Amino acid sequence: MHKRTALFLRTAFLLFLLVIFSSESRVIGADIAAIVNGKKIKQDDVNKRLMLFQDADAETYNAIRQEVIEQFITNILLEDFIDKQGIIVTPLEITRELEQIKRDIAGDSSDTDAFLKDMLTSIGSNLYDFEKTIKHSLALEKYFSALLDFQNLKRFFEKNRNFFNGEAIKVRHIFITTKNLDATAGTSKAADLINTLKTELDNGADFEEIARKYSDCPSAPNGGDLGFIQRRSGSYEEPFLSAAFSLRVGKVSEPVKTEYGYHLIKVTDKKEGIPVNFEDVINDVRSTMLDEEILKLLKKLRSEAKIEIMQ
C-alpha cells in the first residue's frame, strides 16, 4: 500500500471511530440528537446512519447510536477548529487523496468507485462523509506539519523505542464499564465489583470464567481474549497499555481505571521485540506521533465545548 495512503487511513480511521464521552449532557428535543456549541445534530441524520443496524439488539443499537452521535460531534468540533485556524484544504487535494485511496484499497477490483461505496455502506457511511473525513485528516496533517519535523520525530522515537520494535503481548482482560453510570454512585459500584473480582482471582478463581461471567467487553465469550497487542496500538488507552506491558506472563494486574471503566489485565504470552533504526520506521513514528497529537487536540476541543446530548 502507498505509504501516504497507509498514514491517511490510520488518521482517518482514528477520526471516524473515535468516541470520547461527554461529561456534560441534558435531555433536549426529540427531533434533535445533540447540540454542539449551538449547532444542532438532527435525529433524522443520525437515523440515516443507523438504518443498517435496525435488526441489532437494543443494547447494541443504543451503543452504535451513541457512537454515531459522537462522530457527528467530532465533525462539528473539527470543522470549527479548522475554520478558526484558517486551514485551507482544496477540492483538488481531497479528490487526489480520494483517488489514491480508491486505487490502494480496491486491489484487483476494476470498479474502484463501487468498491469504495460498498465498503462505506457496510459501515453505515457514504462518500460525502468520507470526503469530510479526508478533509479533516489533510487539515490536521497541515496543522501539525511543523511539529512533526525530523528532530521532534527523532526525540519521540528515542522516548518510545519499545513502540516500534515489534514487542507484543497476548492479553486477556475483564472490563467493567462506567459508561452511562452515575458519576459517583455508579462508578463506585463498578470499582467495588472490579476489586471483588480481583480478590476472587487472587484466591484462585479462573480468569477466563470470571471474564465470561462479568466482563462488559465483546471479548467476554472468549474469556476476555484480546489477542496480541503492541504498545503503539491505537485501540487502547495509555493506562491500559502501561499496566499490560509491565506485567510478566501469567500475572494479573491490579484494577486499572481508564476513561471507559475498570480493567483487570492478564498477559498470557509475549513476543520479544528486536532493535530497530529510526530511519527504518520513520513513517510509523510519524503516524504514531500524529495520532497522539490528534487525540490530545480532540480531547482539548471536547473539554472546552458546550455539548448537550439527548439521553
In whole angstroms, give the CA distance from residue 112 to residue 14.
23
Fold of 3-156+279-309: Triger factor/SurA peptide-binding fold (1.10.4030)
Question: In which residue are the cell numbers 486477556 written?
Answer: 172
Residue 72 cell numbers, joined: 457527528
Q: Angle CA(210)–CA(241)–CA(169) in degrees, nearest 5?
A: 75
Contacts of 216 (CB under 8 A, 6+ apart): 175, 176, 177, 261
Q: Which helix (H) or strand (E) holds 223?
A: none
**Going residue by residue through the chain (311 aa), what tens digit of pLDDT does each one get?**
455 545 555 555 555 544 433 334 434 446 899 999 999 999 998 888 888 788 878 877 887 888 889 889 999 999 999 999 999 999 999 999 998 888 887 666 678 888 888 888 877 778 888 898 899 999 999 999 999 999 999 999 999 888 888 889 999 999 999 876 665 666 788 999 999 999 999 999 999 999 999 999 989 999 999 999 988 766 788 899 999 999 999 999 999 999 889 999 999 999 988 889 999 999 989 988 998 899 899 999 999 999 998 86
Q: Which residue in the block uniquely carries the three cell numbers 532493535? A: 275
Domain spans of the chain? 3-156+279-309, 166-271
Model pTM score: 0.68
Architecture of domain 166-271: Roll (3.10)
What is the rounded distance in angstroms from the CA atom of residue 85 to the CA atom of residue 82?
Answer: 5
Which H or E element spans position 308?
A: strand 307-309
